Amino acid sequence: MLLELARWLQGLESFFGLFNYLTFRGILAALTALLLSLWWGPPLIRKLAQYKGGQPIRQDGPQTHFSKAGTPTMGGALILIAVLAAVLLWGDLRNKYVWVVLAVMLAFGAIGWYDDWIKIVRRDPNGLKSRWKYLLQSLFGLAAGLYLYYTADVPASTTFYIPLFKAIALPMVGITFVALAYFWIVGFSNAVNLTDGLDGLAIMPTVLVACALGVFAYASGHAQFAEYLQIPRIPGAGELVIICAAIAGAGLGFLWFNTYPAMVFMGDIGALALGAVLGTIAVIVRQELVLVIMGGIFVIETLSVMIQVASFKLTGRRVFRMAPIHHHFELKGWPEPRVIVRFWIISVILVLVGLATLKVR
């Protein structure tokens, strides 16, 4: 929105040429989202508290979690609103990737909102039935995959790349590409949701991964950088820097209220949407496997649930004291802040490893 105005004003004053730089607009998007989330946070939390529902607490979980009963949830709406506002202000609204990512964010956010609404307003701790949630996620994930496939501008947009091995490039046709996009979008949507079980645990890795994906998006959209780093050149992908920066800013603003002890929880509205956005951006910039590395915390949390369920069904025994795995460490006696910060440290390391693949080819 403001980019179009700046382009018009550039003819009158060269200063407005600054807005053509992705890095400058990315900084503005991050600051805008941060300030909006800090500004809107307190009134939103007060409004959510009026419902007096709060996030349902697992009765079989750690005893320390019972003190969280009544804490407002659906705080992820704060993130989504701040991101949307920042991107509409500073993004290039003629860019197709901006719109597809925003559409995914709002679609998965709507699923999460309805799930949270059932939990809070209807007082149903189970929320939206799993089959309906998965069906809606599948429809939106497949729609995004189909759109990206049929609007691909260059062969690189539908080619699968292996990190570290520049010679391995596997062209994908129709169903293969759509299936992969679907798996990453829906998979990471649920993975972030599973991770969101402790105060601030999910949002910081999300911010870190978003920042790193912004680096990949910038390089992929820049012809010289893409050639030098030997990564896929995806025209227009650079504009995703604005979305990644907005997520980082809004996420940090939300963390102000979500840090231990949390004043508000993200809820499914935020977790499902943010995970889907990370998956979509990774698909666009062709860094699906790098996302698995950088988002390793989300992957580990998801695998712990899968292993726990499979083990119990096959042997009747549990591998972990409780899944997802962050609860396992709580039940071992780790204080919640220790679990959170150590998972953050692991996330920082994994993101740095992922960024290292930019140069190691």
Of the candidates 219, 234, 225, the one whose C-alpha atom is nearest the C-alpha of residue 157 is 234
Whole-angstrom distance, CA of residue 225 vs CA of residue 227: 5
Interior/surface letters 132-154, b for 16+ CB within 10 angstroms, e for the rest: ebeebbeebbbbbbebbbeeeee
H, E, C per residue of 16-78: HHHHHCHHHHHHHHHHHHHHHHHHHHHHHHHHHHCCCCCCCCCCCCCHHHHHHCCCCCCCHHH
Token reading at 347:
């996330």
Q: Residue 32: phi, psi to the nearest 5? A: -60, -50
The reply, when asked if residue 193 is annotated as ligand binding, is: yes
CB 210 within 8 A of CB 251: yes
Per the annotation, does 92 bind a ligand?
Answer: no
- Please give the annotated binding residues, written as ranges: 193, 268
- Please give the annotated binding residues for Mg(2+), written as ranges: 193, 268
